[in-house]
Structure 1
Amino acid sequence: MSGLLRFLSVPKSAALLALTLLLTASSPAQTTSARLIPFRQGAKWGYADQHRRLVLPLLYDEAGPFVQELAWVRIGPLYGYIDGGGNPVTPVHFTKAGTFARNRATVELNGETFQIDGSGRRLTTPPEPEPETEFLTQGDLTRQNGKVGFRFTVGQAVVPNVYDEILEDYNGLLFVRQGAKWGVINNKGKLTLPLEYDAIRAVEANNFVLPVVEQQGRFGYLAEDGSLLVPPKYRAAEPFVANVARVTTQDGRTGYIDSRGREYFD
């Protein structure tokens, strides 16, 4: 699994069921929302607005996030794509489906893996290479006696050479490691999160913001100021995609949270 793509696998079966599933599931909602979040009630999924009000009905057995106004949905063992009004963009016939990224998504149909565009058409050209980015943008690393520090380009803040590793996000936060533990320093050189965490995972696809934090096998998220957005409490947590993230609770319930940490499942 890489970047924005979450690839889903199901058994290669029930092909004859696809048309029936599509017809029963796609009573199109005519209201289009600019921001819809996958919402689960019991075993069924729909989409809610940012106030947790259901906008697209609970028609699906699983649902993915809207990216470029397109989202994958699962009915039974098969997947398809809908738009922001709940209207089908493709038939529900794929045995694998990925979230859209850079105007394309990876799917599997009849045992063949390929990519489609936003209208569901098969793409024959490879994606353009990812642009090269420089991770350290706020200053420079300093080294002394095998330890690492940091000097910010703007301002007078200097982080002493006492760390074993330093990474930076696009908000000017530093993720610092001493031994096996990680913490966070802001752009004024202040420790905003103590060195108590087992891992901090930021991804370029999300501009290195709202990273996942791990502590004793539980997962949460950092806010943009380096404090905890969500304390480590989930069994599993995926990186944010289009301001939503997929999480699994300790009792095995799966759903999404938004960039405020609000849960969209019951």
Structure 2
Amino acid sequence: MSGFSRVYFFPKSVALLLLALLLTATSPAQTSSARLIPFRQGTKWGYVDQHRRLVLPLLYDEAGPFVRELAWVRIGPLYGYIDGGGNPVTPVQFTKASTFVRNRATVELNGETFQIDGSGKRLTTPPEPEPETEFLTQGDLLRQNGKVGFRFTVGQAVVPSIYDEIVENYNGLLFVRQGAKWGVLNNKGKLILPLEYDAIRAVEANNFVLPVVEQQGKLGYLAEDGTLLVAPKYAAAEPFVADVARVTTPDGRTGYIDTRGREYFD
């Protein structure tokens, strides 16, 4: 399964990498909270509400997040799409299927890859290009003796030139790096997440909300204020889509969490 969007990854090696999102890509206009959340019990998947009450039965071998009331599901080796009532939108026939992005999903059928719309109809026109994102909108970088600081446009806050890299993010935050470690500054220049993390990953597709953080090979999430939402504990963690994110525990259990860090799997 694969979706197509841009990922901005701030790793140990300093580089800002442009990657393709797997499966969970969506656009800023599509990040509103989903009514139903994928839920796994044993080997079967269904959907629950935010109170963990089962709404759609445990019929599937895998299930994806709802985006605008559309979600992919897997039965055996094949994928299809359902609506918020559990009704089929497409047959379960695809060998690959992505989450919808701007009312498009990418699928594979009989070795051919193409896109479909929200009704399951095959699309022949290419998608509109994503808008370019302008960075450093909150102020200007300051460079001194090989180090970098930051001067905010609004207010009097100045970040001294003590960092090796500064990247502006959503919600007035700055990601900063000293050596191989990353932390977070707020819009007053205060360090609110210590320089203890090996990587911070934020995606433009979901408006940079709730970035993934890495520490000693484990993954967690940042809250909107730049503090920890979920301490690094997962073996795999994907970006949030419609207020849920797909995670895998060190013992191999896969499921979803919500924006409070609550797990929706047993």
Same fold (TM over 0.5): yes
| Superposition deviation, residue 142 in structure 1 | 1.2
Matched with 2:22 is: 6
Query: Do residues 143 (structure 1) and 159 (structure 2) align?
Result: no
**2: CA distance, partners of 1:233 / 1:148:** 31
**1: CA distance, partners of 2:35 / 2:142:** 43
| Superposition deviation, residue 242 in structure 1 | 1.4
Normalised TM-score (structure 2) = 0.88
Q: Which runs of 4+ in 1 moved over 4 A?
A: none
**1: CA distance, partners of 2:156 / 2:61:** 54
Matched with 1:179 is: 179
**2: CA distance, partners of 1:190 / 1:68:** 38
Matched with 1:244 is: 244
Structure 1 contact 137–170 (Cα < 8 Å) conserved: no
Query: Do residues 58 (structure 1) and 50 (structure 2) align?
Result: no
SS at match of 2:205: helix
Residue by residue, what CA displacement relative to the aligned partner does 1:107-163 show, whole Å, maximum 9, x if unpaired? 000111000000000000000001111122221111111111111111111111111
Matched with 1:219 is: 219
Matched with 1:24 is: none
Structure 2 contact 202–210 (Cα < 8 Å) conserved: yes
Q: Decide which moves more: 246-255 or 152-161.
A: 152-161
- Aligned pairs, number: 242
Matched with 1:69 is: 69
Normalised TM-score (structure 1) = 0.88
| Superposition deviation, residue 54 in structure 1 | 1.1
**2: CA distance, partners of 1:57 / 1:203:** 32
Residue by residue, what CA displacement relative to the aligned partner does 1:65-109 show, whole Å, maximum 9, x if unpaired? 111210000001100000111111000000100010011000000
SS at match of 2:47: strand
Amino acid of the residue matched to residue 6 of structure 1? L
Amino acid of the residue matched to residue 5 of structure 2? G
Amino acid of the residue matched to residue 245 of structure 1? A
CA RMSD of superposed structures (Å): 1.5
Larger Rg: 1
Write the mapping of 1:25-174 to structure 2, written as runs, cut at 5 A.
35-174=35-174
Matched with 1:259 is: 259
**1: CA distance, partners of 2:136 / 2:258:** 27
**2: CA distance, partners of 1:140 / 1:260:** 33
Matched with 2:18 is: none
Residue by residue, what CA displacement relative to the aligned partner does 1:176-202 show, whole Å, maximum 9, x if unpaired? 000000000011111001000000000
Structure 1 contact 210–240 (Cα < 8 Å) conserved: yes
**1: CA distance, partners of 2:55 / 2:139:** 45
Structure 1 contact 7–96 (Cα < 8 Å) conserved: no
Larger RCO (alpha carbons 8 Å, 6+ apart): 2
Structure 2 contact 167–175 (Cα < 8 Å) conserved: yes
Amino acid of the residue matched to residue 237 of structure 1? A
**2: CA distance, partners of 1:89 / 1:225:** 38
SS at match of 2:151: strand
Amino acid of the residue matched to residue 222 of structure 2? L
Segments of 5+ residues of structure 1 without an aligned counterpart are 9-32
Segments of 5+ residues of structure 2 without an aligned counterpart are 7-20, 25-32
